A and B are shown apart, each in its own frame.
Chain A
């Protein structure tokens, strides 16, 4: 076990017991003992007041065909939907550029489907090279062809780091690539940096429902692969005249056993792409009924925002799932998030707590939503929101062009 108790230091106080999510620490003969239930999640490491819980440096590693030093360069997978590059791809280029500079190496993008124009756009957003394949097999998203071609490219060019968006597409096919390559993959990273000494990628991600953050690394295997949450990283710099290489790739021996028959966009009166908007008005169980969302829509229209919802509101059938924010829905970080009648279960909080400004409106002053709120109003949302709408309209009336400033700022948004 790489986690052990130093029996000389252990006082048997039992502080560590409650920290273990797997009940793997017990007190035996007055000392703490890590049993076989240990999943090596490391949550116990900081709990011991005596510092008696220690990590053993272990050198065990699965044999790897190529040495770590054979791998060079940073790759990002540029996701496209209907030919258009998803904005997370530009964020990955921003993050990838920083890592490439730290490692003094190249930054490349991989684009399957879409057009050469879009490949050139990736160069302007910072890619030194773009590996581009526009075979018609990539028109719709199927896991197998995406995984097959990316795997063979990685085997050929050996990048040390591969990043992709933590989107329905990235989270679905990237694991196949990692499985095939025998590579480590870390999901939903919120921060990436380099350990200069080892060139290891330090990957930070939430765990246990966002209750705790973990730093993950992949010391013995390459490439190091990670998916990154949309809207967490900062886009790179756009340079109109940037030069880069576009490398055309053929899709040889690529096949798919799944086939997309149809793609259905779910119609909604108000934009649901919650990860792209600057303002989100979200409703929860406190709305009491589906009609409550009509009021929220009024406020959303006034502020140019979209409608979000807690799981409770979605489960009640008041709004479609595509509006759901939180652990089982979308992770968002708009400039302004107004939570109406949402108590703030941790599963909801992890999906929205990195928003710039959070306004909570709730009847219950003890609701956990107030712990993450920038501003809190305790009261009946059916009284507060109409007032808010009126006051905003009044403020705008006297504000002379101060309206709709959100989205007009040039500063890049990061969470």
Chain B
């Protein structure tokens, strides 16, 4: 079985802070990591390989430094890696990113493609489903459990608002996965050695026979117009005194709001 896992290198948004005066991001000291959801996608890809056999190829698109994310994936035990990197890809929105990834996936060939639910820098959750549409294959979002997989079919649990659905599909398929699915493994010593030596394939727009009209900023229908800091909340009140006094003061305030 040919398994492709799509990952993204992202700034760890948990570490990102805002400069309250200028309303801008403070990036200093914020590490680049593999998008946390994609770690679960990697684990899923490896588990599918363990069950059904085959190869796991990890695919990412990004600047040259994204190579380190691919090396981290090798240390977890994946077989192949591809880095899509080209100046022509810069400024891609989800549409152009999905187009580019789908061209690379066509070249590699896949029975099953696994993506994280969303990336923590953009939080759009759009790239997975869009890639599936470009490839003209079905997808299932928010997969929390893979119940069964054969050479031509799969049955999974899909997370919904008030519970979950059990969904079956033919292969090939694209899955986007949530954290509940699994616990990502730690890199092995052997994996770490392999990561150092691994040859990372680098492909540009010519390697994937992409239509340049569909790439990067030119291929992207959306534009970022501006960026601003979210409004801060004002008028907070910290109560003083003994627990009982504080609770009394709180209940008093809430009476004013007719909350009780």
A residues sitting closer than 8 Å to B (CB atoms) are: 1-2, 18-24, 36-47, 58, 60-63, 81, 140-144, 147, 167-169, 171-173, 175-176, 178-180, 182-188, 202, 206-221, 256-266, 272-273, 275, 303, 321-322, 327-328, 335-336, 345-347, 353, 357-359, 365, 370-380, 383-384, 387-388, 391-392, 395-396, 399, 402-403, 405-406, 409
Residue of A nearest to B230 (CB): A213
Q: Is the CB of B16 within 8 A of A21?
A: yes
Residue of A nearest to B98 (CB): A179
Judge whether B206 is part of the interface by a CB distance below 8 angstroms.
no
Which residues of B175-227 have CB atoms within 8 Å of chain A's CB atoms? 178-180, 213-214, 217-227
Contacts of B23 in A (CB 8 A): 46, 212
Residue of B nearest to A404 (CB): B260
CA distance A36 to B91 in the complex (A): 10
How many residues from B make CB contacts under 8 Å with A? 99
Contacts of B28 in A (CB 8 A): 18
**With A18-B27, A40-B224, A353-B233 given, can you name 5 additional A-B contacts, CB distance below 8 Å?**
A21-B30, A46-B228, A168-B141, A212-B229, A321-B159
Contacts of A18 in B (CB 8 A): 25-28
What are 24 A-B interface contacts by the 8 Å CB criterion?
A: A40-B224, A46-B23, A167-B161, A171-B126, A180-B133, A182-B95, A208-B16, A209-B120, A216-B222, A218-B221, A258-B173, A259-B168, A263-B166, A264-B166, A266-B162, A273-B162, A336-B259, A347-B13, A372-B236, A374-B233, A377-B238, A377-B243, A391-B251, A399-B260
Q: Is the CB of B14 within 8 A of A345?
A: yes
Residue of A nearest to B126 (CB): A175
Judge whether B103 is part of the interface by a CB distance below 8 angstroms.
no
Contacts of A273 in B (CB 8 A): 161-162
CA distance A256 to B30 in the complex (A): 43
Which residues of B62-109 have CB atoms within 8 Å of chain A's CB atoms? 63, 65, 87, 90-91, 93-95, 98-99
CA distance A21 to B11 in the complex (A): 6
Q: Is the CB of B95 within 8 A of A184?
A: yes
Contacts of A175 in B (CB 8 A): 94, 98, 125-130, 133
Give A262 Cβ to nearest chain B Cβ, in Å: 4
Q: Is the CB of B160 within 8 A of A168?
A: yes
Judge whether B150 is part of the interface by a CB distance below 8 angstroms.
no
Contacts of B91 in A (CB 8 A): 2, 38-40
10 A-B pairs closest in CB distance: A184-B221, A209-B13, A172-B141, A179-B133, A175-B129, A187-B124, A184-B222, A179-B130, A40-B91, A221-B221
Also in contact, A371 and B236, with CB within 8 A (given A23-B27, A187-B124, A217-B225): yes
Q: Is the CB of A207 within 8 A of B237?
A: no
Contact of B25 among A43, A168, A372, A384 (CB under 8 A): A43
Please, what's the 1-or-0 string for B42-60, where 1 marks a CB less than 8 Å from any CB in chain A? 0000000000000000000
